[in-house]
């Protein structure tokens, strides 16, 4: 039987591995998009931490008694307006994008991020697409029905711990607005990403939840804009960990890099947290995630 502290160290190790993988994925795939230094605004750090200071409806009729799909409604003789099935999801995406960028300033809202992840997890895996290996040892399965603002995927890992039956995560990747990286918090950056990772025991009961956020820098574009990121640390985002079995092991980390490598991270007391997810929300998300995993169980892992 492993101790709580060893589990916490294992989870922290996974977090550091995922952070290290971020550099290789984004740096190798970075696009050569010129950014004019004149177009880069001066950083507005008033009242915000310095990026280099790492302190840590169903319708019925009388004739047909069965649910009908929602139909477009015409007004004043005009053409009916098409109903966007992803309207609520798009609204959440816009709001959470801002939440993810806020984590650069050491503020996180885990409940809002988990709510978005739940909406995306309610979609289906694209069984026509070939699963792809990930740099951190997982297998990636793309989701279908995803709004064009993002890409989303299920990533499944093989557990080597007999006490852990399932390790999986939902990966949400926003696309760069306008097709280019943009300046934010001291650097030219790619669009933000969020991963919501869950651990389950052999009975399917959730044991841990980890939410990681990153708005990674575009190193080449930053350098072209006259911003040298190699000499100082830079914030990437945050990590929120909820240990359902031992709340004392729960906590937050400030994720950062220096010269392309992860920096040692701490959990400074200055980190602000929004509403934390409820146990019921975590249980529901874990159940949905397990359902996605079962839908791809026929694929070789």
Locate 73 and state its tokens: 């409604």
Q: What pLDDT, on the 0 to 100 scale, is given for residue 301?
A: 45
| Cα angle for residues 177, 182, 187 (degrees, 5° grid) | 150
pLDDT the model gives residue 200: 87
For position 274, what pLDDT does the model report?
Answer: 80
| 180-184 long-range contacts, CB within 8 A, separation 24+ | 180/33, 180/35, 181/31, 181/33, 181/35, 181/218, 181/221, 183/35, 183/39, 183/40, 183/41, 183/225, 184/101, 184/104, 184/215
Alpha-carbon distance 284 to 101, whole Å? 26
> What average pLDDT does the chain have?
77
The DSSP symbol for 192 reads: P
- Span 10-23, pLDDT tens digits: 555 555 555 445 44
Alpha carbon of residue 108 to chain centroid:
12
Question: Tell me, what's the pLDDT at 13?
Answer: 52
Tokens of 291: 């359902």
Q: What is the DSSP letter of 7?
A: H
- The set of residues, in sequence order, having a beta carbon less than 8 Å from that of 250 and lying 6+ positions away, is 241, 242, 243
pLDDT tens for 14-47 read: 555 554 454 444 444 444 444 444 444 444 444 4
Which regions of the chain are under pLDDT 70? 1-82, 162-165, 179, 264, 266-270, 298-301
Q: How many CB atoms lie within 10 A of CB 117?
A: 29
Q: What is the distance between the alpha carbons of residues 69 and 275, in angstroms, rounded to a whole number?
A: 35
Q: What pLDDT is attached to residue 269?
A: 60
pTM over 0.75: no
pLDDT digits (tens, 9 = 90+) for 144-160: 999 999 999 999 987 77
Interhelix angle 110-121/279-295, nearest 10 degrees: 30
Rounded CA separation 2/22 (Å): 29
β-pair type (124-125, 206-214): unpaired
State the CB neighbour count (10 A cutoff) for residue 93. Answer: 19
């Amino acid at each position: 039987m492993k101790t709580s502290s060893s589990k916490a160290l294992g989870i922290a190790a996974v977090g550091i591995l995922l952070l290290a993988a971020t550099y290789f994925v984004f740096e190798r795939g970075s696009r050569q998009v010129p950014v004019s230094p004149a177009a880069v605004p001066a950083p507005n750090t008033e009242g915000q931490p310095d990026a280099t200071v790492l302190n840590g409806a169903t319708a019925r009729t009388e004739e047909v008694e069965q649910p009908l799909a929602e139909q477009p409604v015409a007004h004043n003789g005009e053409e009916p307006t098409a109903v966007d099935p992803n309207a609520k999801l798009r609204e959440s995406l816009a709001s959470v994008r801002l939440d993810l960028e806020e984590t650069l300033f050491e503020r996180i809202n885990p409940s809002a991020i988990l709510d978005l992840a739940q909406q995306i997890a309610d979609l289906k895996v694209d069984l026509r697409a070939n699963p792809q290996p990930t740099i951190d040892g997982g297998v990636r399965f793309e989701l279908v029905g995803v709004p064009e603002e993002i890409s989303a995927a299920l990533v499944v890992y093989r557990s080597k711990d007999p006490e852990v039956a399932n390790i999986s995560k939902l990966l949400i990747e926003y696309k760069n607005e306008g097709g280019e990286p943009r300046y934010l918090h001291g650097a030219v950056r790619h669009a933000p990403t969020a991963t919501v990772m869950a651990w389950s025991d052999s009975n399917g009961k959730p044991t841990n939840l980890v939410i990681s956020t990153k708005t990674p820098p575009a190193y080449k574009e930053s350098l072209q804009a006259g911003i040298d990121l190699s000499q100082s640390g830079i914030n990437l985002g945050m990590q929120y960990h909820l240990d359902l079995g031992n709340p004392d092991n729960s906590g937050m980390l400030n994720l950062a890099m220096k010269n392309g490598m992860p920096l040692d991270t701490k959990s400074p007391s200055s980190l602000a947290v929004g509403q934390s997810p409820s146990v019921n929300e975590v249980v529901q998300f874990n159940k949905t995630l397990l359902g996605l995993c079962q839908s791809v169980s026929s694929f070789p892992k």
